[in-house]
Amino acid sequence: MLATGERIRANAWGRYYVSDDCNGCGLCWYVAPLNIAPSWDGRYYGVAAQPDNPAEDVALEVARDSCPLHCIHDDGDE
């Protein structure tokens, strides 16, 4: 997959998303396992579920801040 910095289609619709810059390291999945999931081939991760509560929101914020490639984004829309 050629990295363009665009939102991948595998993301659940909503505020948080992963761009195609993801290399599949899995750090985000470790931090936010209720909201992040690997692709079918394990090459990248996406937001599988938007947060349902404040704890999940914090987990996604930590995942975003921890991402070594800065490919987790928050567009601010609820």
The full set of domains in the chain, from first to last, is 16-74 (3.30.70.20)
DSSP summary character for residue 19: B
Contact of 73 with 7, CB cutoff 8 Å? yes
Which residue from 61, 46, 60 is spatially nearest to 9, judged by alpha carbons?
46
pTM over 0.85: yes
- Summarize pLDDT for 22-75 with one digit per residue, the tens: 999 999 999 999 999 999 999 999 999 999 999 999 999 999 999 999 999 998
Task: Round to whole Å and give the CA distance between 53 and 4.
Answer: 31
Q: Return the closest-CA partner of residue 60 out of 18, 5, 10, 13.
A: 18
In the three-class reduction of DSSP (H, G, I as helix; E, B as strand; rest coil), residue 62 is classed as helix
